[in-house]
Amino acid sequence: MSGVKTGIFGDDGGNTYRVGVSKKTGLPPSLHVLTENARNLNPTFAGFVNDTYGLAMNQNAVFSGTALNVYDGSVTTYWTPNSITGGKWTDGSTAESHSGGASLRLNNGNVGHIYEFANNDASTVTAAGGRTLTFAASGLTITASTGSFLTDGYQRGQTVVIAGTSSNDGSKLIDTVTALVITLDSGESLTNEGPLSGGETLDATATIQGSSYVALSAFIFVDQNWNEGDSISVYGYDSNTASVIGTPVFIEDVVDVFQFDVWHSAIFTIAALGLEAQGFDSIRIQIVTEVGTGPRVYFDDFSLQQAGGAITYTSRPVAGTLYHADKLALILVDALDTTLADNSVFNITYNKILGLAKLANGIVFRRYSDNRLSFSTSATQMTDFLLGGFRIVEKFADATNVCIILEVTFASTIILDSRTLDRFEIEIDDDLSGLVEFRGSLRGSSETL
């Protein structure tokens, strides 16, 4: 009688696996067994940290200085809007707007369709006809007696070309502009000269130096039909060389494109755009890929921001480890009385963040896997946190301050791998300095590779 054939069977989601006997030359029949090293998981938390501010997220991240307006739905004329390719762009659409009553509409465009905002050359200023120019070494200023440099089109980041003077001819980077005064960048130099009225001239092309700004800000409204696989990029462009400048940034990496029918604050940093050491004279929007009919998207209020802006806090695994993240927790403290007179309800307003009014831009949460954005969402008020799965797990107060702990538990453990630059980020784009404290951390376990 022959032996009974045996095996070890298992089922995993409908797939049947069998461990059987195999024979290898020179060896007796044997079972092959796969083993896995035991994991040594150390419970720990991974705080969100910024190189400048550490764990403290109650910072003022509002842009400062003078913004250079680029586009506002053509309510006001700034840079020249133009459809480069494709007929699905509508300048000045009144269907949706962030401010002013109009925006740029993209209605189910096709791959390769491009829209452009092109800067304009400044007008030549001539020292003649009663308009004089005076150059001052102290303060690095060029002062006109009449007219307006603003109306003439001079802007921060342009290079002004001076000609016809005895001591100041050359190309100089502009720092600030008012109606009567151009102030040069601190790295430039001038010699005292003037008032001049002998035909000396100033000129400036449309090219802007990216080093003069920290970010391109905009507002984006996804109306419908955005599908997984759709992609739209924003990038700098040089019309003189007909070339892309820097690195395109995809709007789906900046805002939550699946959150429809809401205006998203979009911050494209100059560093991310690769424009820190580059000159450009245009901003372009381009459809890179699409699935199906293509999305309907509105764009509004593009501006180049001079200073300040987004502060990013990162939580990542230590080099040589995996981090098994189970929860994300936030601690918020504010000088606020949140107890009603009868002590029956914890008094937190739905449309604020403790004592802060609803945020204009929002706190942005992002997850990166393999160094690519895999998830993004934002919160501007308390209800946004709750809709995102956060729960108020702890709350307490004294006579002065209230503290709440918000916590979201992930549906399954998220594994962050230090080798592939996996990480979570929290980006601050508003003034949160009114909070006494604001911190965040991932909670889970660390595993040594």
Per-residue pLDDT for 91 more than 70? yes
* DSSP element (H, E) containing 431: none
How far lies 302's CA from each of 78, 88, 91, 193, 218, in Å?
A: 10, 20, 13, 38, 4
Give the span between the Cα atoms of 17 and 9, in whole angstroms: 6
Please list, residue by residue across 341-351, b when 16 or more beta carbons sit within 10 angstroms of its beta carbon and e when fewer do.
eeeeeeeebee
The predicted-structure confidence for 203-229, as pLDDT tens digits, reads as follows 999 999 999 999 999 999 999 889 989
Per-residue pLDDT for 14 more than 80? no
The predicted-structure confidence for 412-445, as pLDDT tens digits, reads as follows 999 999 999 999 999 999 999 999 999 999 999 9
Per-residue pLDDT for 54 more than 90? yes
For residue 437 the two structure tokens come to 């404290």
Give the span between the Cα atoms of 116 and 122, in whole angstroms: 19
Judged by average pLDDT, the poorest of 33-42, 317-326, 421-430 is 33-42
Q: Return the SS3 of 158.
A: coil
* DSSP element (H, E) containing 384: helix 382-387
| DSSP code of residue 52 | T
For residue 233 the two structure tokens come to 């990029």
pTM for the complete prediction? 0.79
The count of residues in the chain is: 449
Per-residue pLDDT for 378 more than 90? no
Per-residue pLDDT for 182 more than 80? yes
Please list, residue by residue across 386-417, b when 16 or more beta carbons sit within 10 angstroms of its beta carbon and e when fewer do.
eeeebeeeeeebeeebbbbebbbeeeeebebb
pLDDT at 225: 86
Per-residue pLDDT for 128 more than 60? yes
CB 306 within 8 A of CB 260: no
Per-residue pLDDT for 341 more than 80? no
Peptide bond into 295 cis (omega under 30): no
Q: What percent of the chain stands above pLDDT 70?
A: 90
The predicted-structure confidence for 233-277, as pLDDT tens digits, reads as follows 999 999 999 999 999 999 998 888 888 998 988 999 999 999 999
Round the average pLDDT of the chain to a whole number and report it: 90
pLDDT at 12: 57
pLDDT at 396: 86
Give the span between the Cα atoms of 211 and 71, in whole angstroms: 20
Kindly report the backbone phi and psi dihedral angles of residue 321, in degrees, each rounded to the nearest multiple of 5, phi listed first: -135, 165
pLDDT at 1: 45
Give the span between the Cα atoms of 96 and 299, in whole angstroms: 9
For residue 241 the two structure tokens come to 């060389």
